[in-house]
């Protein structure tokens, strides 16, 4: 009991120190300033976020444990995310759907986001496992494939993206918001059994992996992440992912993370003007 109480006091002290440090010198020795003290300069109505529906109706990605194509899950979740973003004031949120098959279709997605001058790109997917890790079962009279070992979301960014720091920042916000709603990421991409699909975990708290080669992440000119919202080959998680409750939870996390990111990236108008002048000066030829 003594140990626990001591530990509790230590945690409180650390938290209090953190709050004082975050509040800045003026607040030291006084009451901690509220966290929301910084004004939110995000202009939601102008912030262009693209929600990319992974795969196409003809090449629909993974097949769930009950035989449903991934594309159906992606379309349903992405549609809700778009609607929830607009409801939250992100009027410029755009759903990106293409019927063009890969590889051309993947480049087309990035090009469309680039031509829109989007400020954030989020690809919506649902996860499976490599074929050698799948088992078979009978469902509704059909032989289907499943793997119950690796439930959870996963977030991917590419180091080759034009704004790698922005991609990682959004990935971290997204992981934090998903976890705040009780969801957990899957750590299985780090396992040797994943073979060439093994990935480097670059944020072990938020669940952000590095996947440089993903075309939609490396060809986009704006911060970009790919979200695997959960495993549809996991027989239990598939049922959750198909439910309105889970979609609402994931969508709320995405909307909150977009809000976090927009606020973090927003600058006062004066600061933007100064940056523009500096750029012009740098671009001028030496005399």
Specify the 3-state DSSP secondary structure of 223: coil
- Can you tell me the distance from the alpha carbon of 182 to that of 186, in angstroms, rounded to the nearest whole number? 13
Q: Which residue is associated with the tokens 């480049």?
A: 107
Q: Which structure tokens are listed for 264? A: 């973090």
The CB-nearest residue to Zn ion is 125
Is residue 168 within 8 A of residue 217, CB to CB? The reply is: no
Nearer to Zn ion, 152 or 259 (CB): 152
Nearer to Zn ion, 169 or 214 (CB): 214
Q: Which structure tokens are listed for 239? A: 């049922």
Nearer to Zn ion, 125 or 210 (CB): 125
For residue 232, the 8-state DSSP code is: T
3-state secondary structure 64-98: CCCCCEHHHHHHHHHHHHHHHHHHCCCCCCEEECC
Would you say the C-alpha torsion 245, 249, 250, 256 has a positive or negative sign? positive
Nearer to Zn ion, 61 or 223 (CB): 61
Burial degree of 103 (CB within 10 A; 0-12, 13-18, 19+)? exposed
Q: Which of 120, 130, 155, 150 is nearest to 250 (CA)?
A: 155
The number of angstroms, rounded, from the C-alpha of 194 to the middle of its chain's C-alpha atoms is 22
Nearer to Zn ion, 208 or 262 (CB): 208
| Least distance between Zn ion and beta carbon 141 (Å) | 27
Nearer to Zn ion, 144 or 260 (CB): 144
Residues engaged in binding Zn ion (CB under 5 A): 54, 61, 125
| Least distance between Zn ion and beta carbon 278 (Å) | 41
- Backbone angles phi and psi of 276, in degrees to 5: -65, -45
| Least distance between Zn ion and beta carbon 246 (Å) | 17
Burial degree of 133 (CB within 10 A; 0-12, 13-18, 19+)? middle
| Least distance between Zn ion and beta carbon 254 (Å) | 16
Q: Which residue is associated with the tokens 């991934």?
A: 70
| Least distance between Zn ion and beta carbon 227 (Å) | 10
| Least distance between Zn ion and beta carbon 60 (Å) | 9
| Least distance between Zn ion and beta carbon 8 (Å) | 44
Nearer to Zn ion, 55 or 172 (CB): 55
| Least distance between Zn ion and beta carbon 266 (Å) | 31
Nearer to Zn ion, 61 or 151 (CB): 61
């Amino acid at each position: 009991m003594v140990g626990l109480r001591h530990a509790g006091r230590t945690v409180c002290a650390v938290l209090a120190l953190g709050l004082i440090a975050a509040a800045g010198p003026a607040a030291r020795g006084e009451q901690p300033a509220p966290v929301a003290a910084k004004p939110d300069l995000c202009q939601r109505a102008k912030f262009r976020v693209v929600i990319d529906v992974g795969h196409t109706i003809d090449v629909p990605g993974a097949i769930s444990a009950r035989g449903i194509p991934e594309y159906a899950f992606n379309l349903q979740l992405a549609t809700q995310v778009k609607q929830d973003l607009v409801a939250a004031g992100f009027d410029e949120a755009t759903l990106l759907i293409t019927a063009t098959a890969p590889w051309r279709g993947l480049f087309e997605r990035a090009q469309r986001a680039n031509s829109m001058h989007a400020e954030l790109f989020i690809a919506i997917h649902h996860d499976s496992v490599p074929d050698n890790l799948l088992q078979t079962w009978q469902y509704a009279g059909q032989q289907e494939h499943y793997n119950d070992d690796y439930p959870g979301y996963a977030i991917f960014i590419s180091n080759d993206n034009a704004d790698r720091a922005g991609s990682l920042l959004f990935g971290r916000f997204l992981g934090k918001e998903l976890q705040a709603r009780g969801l957990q990421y899957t750590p299985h991409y780090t396992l040797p059994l994943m073979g060439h699909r093994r990935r480097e975990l670059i944020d072990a708290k938020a669940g952000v992996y590095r996947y440089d080669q993903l075309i939609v992440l490396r060809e986009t000119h704006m911060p970009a992440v790919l979200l695997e919202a959960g495993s549809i080959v996991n027989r239990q998680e598939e049922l959750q992912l198909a439910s309105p409750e889970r979609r609402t939870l994931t969508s709320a996390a995405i909307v909150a993370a977009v809000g976090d990111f927009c606020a973090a990236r927003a600058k006062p108008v004066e600061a933007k003007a100064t940056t523009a002048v500096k750029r012009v000066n740098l671009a001028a030829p030496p005399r």
